[in-house]
Amino acid sequence: MTAVLKHELKSYFRSMTAYVFGAGLLLAVGLGAMLYNIEAAVSNFEFALSYFSIIFAVIVPILTMRVIAEERKQKTDQLLYSLPITTTQVVVGKYLALLAVYVIPLCIVAVYPLIFSQFGDVYLLTSYGSMLAFFIMGAALIALGVFISSLTDNQGFAAGVGIAVILLNYFSVSLSEYVSTTAFGSVVALCVIILALGAVIKHLTKNENLAYGICFVLIAAIAITCFMDSTKFEGLLPSVMTRLSLFDRFTGFVNGVFDMASIVYYASVIVFFLFLSIQSLEKRRYN
């Protein structure tokens, strides 16, 4: 795993990837600090992190699009499978390298509240609590990007899908106001999600029976529940869209609430998508 980590770090810093990612993040936070902390004379540094967090929709796909897709395109992933390490170690090594690239600009950003505190009253506890949540939220988005990259050998496709998914998650709370709140609308949306899940399972495992079986069981469970009490599905879709939003959970930290439930949610997202990435590579190894 250490060898994979060192190799990935060298490749990022020998190319423009790490520098573009770091510059994009520093530019976004710098603009936020200039607009809110300097021009508007607002002492809450966490606002700068919140209002420009949409930058993740651009810089995360740039960072993660090649992490596995490039290996598949160049057929160098076969060399990884021949190493005396497990697929889990390969994925974790690559992921830690991405986090290292992510941490470097954040270390520079961490100095900002200290500088601003010399010229006004800055609540450092909220600022650094929000920065911790900002880091974990970014780590969750990076794990999502790694999984998307593991599904294809086309970097452009991985970047495009990553941008679309992150933007959808960013605007999910706003979009939830326009989706159907009826039980029928929620049931239809859940069935679509289950079918998409089945497609992912089929792609990862190449086992059609398993994919169809899971879809059948889940859809049957929804049908039975709806038949017994359809009111349970009323307003379910907007609620799910809001709860799944990574960015909406970050708002609580900006408002001064250190929510451990959100930290656990971010950690769960990281583990979930890294697990899917491992399964994707395992499937390719045995094929």
Residue 12 forms part of a structural domain: yes
Residues 156 and 200 grouped into a single domain: no
Helices (H) and strands (E) in the chain, counts: 16, 0
Q: Are residues 74 and 91 in the same domain?
A: yes
Instruction: Please identify which residue in the block is written with the tokens 């010229």.
Output: 119
pLDDT at 50: 83
Q: What are phi and psi of 181, to 5 degrees?
A: -105, 0
In this structure, the answer to whether residues 194 and 224 fall within a common structural domain is yes
pLDDT for 78 equals 67
One domain for residues 24 and 64: yes
Mean model confidence pLDDT for the chain: 83
In a shared domain, residues 162 and 31: yes
- Range of 71-80, 119-128, 225-234 with top mean pLDDT: 119-128
More confidently predicted of 144 and 282: 144
Answer yes or no: are the C-beta atoms of 286 and 86 closer than 8 Å.
no
From the list 16, 274, 60, the residue with the least C-alpha distance to 163 is 60
pLDDT (tens digit per residue) in 178-213: 776 777 777 887 888 888 878 877 776 666 777 788
Domain, as residue range, for 82: 2-176+245-286
The residue that leads in pLDDT, 273 or 41, is: 273
The answer to the question of residue 217 being in a domain is: yes
78 lies in the same domain as 170: yes
Asked whether residue 239 is domain-assigned, the answer is no
Same domain, 226 and 118: no
- In the numeric block, the tokens 């700068």 are attached to 48
- HSE of 78, CA atoms in CB hemisphere, 13 A: 4
**Does residue 27 surpass a pLDDT of 70?**
yes
What is the rounded distance in angstroms from the CA atom of residue 260 to the CA atom of residue 195? 32
The verdict on 272 and 225 lying in the same domain is no
Q: Number of structural domains, the chain?
A: 2
Task: Say which residue the tokens 């398993």 belong to.
Answer: 210
pLDDT computed for residue 104 by the predictor: 92
pLDDT digit string (tens) for 82-116? 667 788 888 888 899 999 999 999 999 999 888 88
- Would you state the pLDDT for residue 11? 83
Indicate if 71 and 56 belong to the same structural domain. yes
Residues 203 and 169 in one domain: no
Query: 121 with 256, same domain?
Result: yes
Please give the pLDDT value at position 205. 63
Q: pTM of the predicted model, to two decimals?
A: 0.86
Say if residue 144 is in the same domain as residue 229: no
Per-residue pLDDT for 1 more than 80?
no
Q: Which tens digit of pLDDT belongs to each residue from 68-83? A: 877 777 666 666 666 6
Half-sphere exposure of 268 (CA within 13 A, CB side): 8
